[in-house]
């Protein structure tokens, strides 16, 4: 960027401008131009809203803690004030209000929200599951777990090629991204019971990475296709905002489900002689792995992991109802007919 700016200056395309403003006037000018008040409201609201999802476990009363409740209320209130500011008061909007209510923009944002909730639900304890239930080493469990991320990185290139070839993103997502994601999550639910070879999980991870690669690329393209060039960075940031909120909610959901489902499943499957040690077994992966493979206690722990992991996968699947509705809300834009921006864009 700086190299091209330098070339433009040498060619006289960017003549030096004298604003005739004082330092204070320049600060006020750029605060207005970049909607500093709107950014401050949004950033503060988001920080306050997301913080409780990370600290509620440290509070004696959990979600009923006055601190947690206050943070949630004030965070949500500041984000509501941000919307009102953008609609009624901002001289220059961070994001035009018409985009905040555009069905395609909101659909893209809620699809990212859904993806991160689902991912946080099934992935939070997946590495431990592979070690305890499938008897994998830390290294092998990490390979299997990370095959998902590597697969996304590779298949996003394929997804981009398919969109470029077809010119469409809505139906590519409906017929490739979403079906592959639901199929993979369904297979993970099926394979959650003990006895399945870890290769089946690798298969599910690869299918899931393909599905998510198409969803991620189609989601970003849908968001960008809905706005003019100058708002592309803002709309992607907004999409990332919804994704962050979804990830925080998904992590909290998975922690809440796990702390309830796993101890209950241990109490159901452990031999009677191990019930006095249930808290130690529940809270320590080292303790879980210390029992010999094939022993009654290890089999009981594996059954408990299976029950808990399936419980985590249920909301990870159900939440995709939101994602499907979000994609159906998109407009089907033929990207091959979209005129590219030409000339100076900065």
What is the residue-level pLDDT of the chain in tens, covering all 346 positions?
A: 899 888 988 888 887 777 778 888 888 888 888 889 988 998 899 889 888 877 887 888 888 899 999 999 999 999 999 888 988 888 887 777 777 788 999 999 999 999 999 999 999 899 999 999 999 999 999 999 899 999 999 999 999 999 999 999 999 999 999 999 999 999 999 998 888 888 999 999 999 999 999 999 999 999 999 888 888 888 898 898 889 889 988 988 898 889 889 999 999 999 999 999 999 999 999 999 999 999 999 999 999 999 999 999 999 999 999 999 999 999 988 888 777 666 555 5
Query: Among the residues of 169-231, which ranges form H helices?
Result: 170-172, 178-190, 198-225
- Residue 128: closest CA among 117, 136, 120: 136
Give the orientation angle of helix 198-225 with respect to helix 178-190, to 10 degrees.
150
> In whole angstroms, what is the distance from residue 265 CA to residue 268 CA?
5
Give the pLDDT confidence score for residue 180 in this predicted structure.
Answer: 97
> In whole angstroms, what is the distance from residue 296 CA to residue 293 CA?
9
Distance set, CA 90 to CA 25, 63, 144 (Å): 18, 35, 49
Give the pLDDT confidence score for residue 340 in this predicted structure.
Answer: 66
Give the orientation angle of helix 320-328 with respect to helix 178-190, to 10 degrees.
170
Residues 6+ apart with CB under 8 A from 255: 57, 124
Asked if 242 and 326 count as a contact pair (C-beta separation under 8 A), the reply is: no
Give the pLDDT confidence score for residue 20 in this predicted structure.
Answer: 79
Asked if 302 and 190 count as a contact pair (C-beta separation under 8 A), the reply is: no
Residue 240 CA neighbour count, 13 Å, CB half = 7
User: Look-up: residue for tokens 């991912």?
Assistant: 119
Architecture of domain 98-335: Up-down Bundle (1.20)
Give the pLDDT confidence score for residue 183 in this predicted structure.
Answer: 97
User: Look-up: residue for tokens 């470029």?
Assistant: 164
Share in percent of the chain as helix, strand, coil (round to 5): 80, 0, 20
Give the pLDDT confidence score for residue 271 in this predicted structure.
Answer: 94
| 3-state SS, residue 151 | helix
């Amino acid at each position: 960027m700086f190299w091209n700016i330098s070339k433009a200056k040498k060619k006289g395309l960017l003549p030096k401008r004298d604003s005739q403003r004082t330092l204070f006037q320049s600060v006020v000018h750029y605060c207005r131009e970049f909607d500093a008040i709107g950014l401050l409201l949004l950033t503060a609201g988001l920080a306050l809203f997301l913080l409780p999802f990370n600290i509620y476990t440290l509070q004696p009363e959990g979600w009923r803690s006055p601190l947690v409740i206050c943070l949630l209320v004030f965070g949500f209130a500041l984000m509501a004030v941000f919307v009102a500011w953008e609609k009624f008061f901002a001289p220059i909007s961070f994001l035009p209000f018409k985009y905040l209510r555009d069905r395609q923009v909101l659909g893209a944002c809620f699809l990212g929200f859904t993806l991160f909730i689902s991912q946080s639900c099934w992935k939070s304890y997946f590495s431990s599951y592979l070690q305890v239930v499938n008897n994998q080493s830390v290294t092998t469990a990490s390979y299997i777990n990370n095959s998902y991320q590597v697969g996304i990185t590779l298949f996003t290139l394929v997804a981009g090629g398919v969109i470029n070839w077809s010119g469409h993103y809505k139906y590519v997502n409906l017929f490739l991204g979403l079906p592959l994601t639901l199929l993979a999550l369904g297979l993970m639910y099926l394979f959650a019971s003990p006895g399945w070879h870890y290769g089946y999980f690798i298969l599910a991870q690869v299918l899931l990475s393909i599905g998510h690669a198409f969803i991620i690329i189609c989601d970003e393209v849908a968001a960008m296709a809905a706005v003019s060039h100058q708002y592309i960075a803002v709309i992607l940031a907004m999409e990332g905002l919804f994704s962050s909120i979804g990830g925080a909610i998904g992590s909290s959901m998975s922690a809440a489900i796990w702390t309830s489902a796993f101890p209950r499943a241990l109490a159901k499957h452990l031999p009677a002689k191990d019930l006095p040690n249930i808290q130690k077994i529940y809270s320590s992966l080292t303790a879980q792995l210390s029992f010999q493979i094939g022993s009654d206690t290890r089999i009981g722990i594996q059954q408990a992991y299976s029950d808990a992991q399936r419980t985590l996968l249920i909301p990870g699947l159900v939440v995709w109802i939101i994602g499907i509705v979000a994609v159906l809300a998109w407009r089907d834009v033929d990207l091959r007919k979209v005129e590219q921006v030409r000339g100076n864009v900065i």
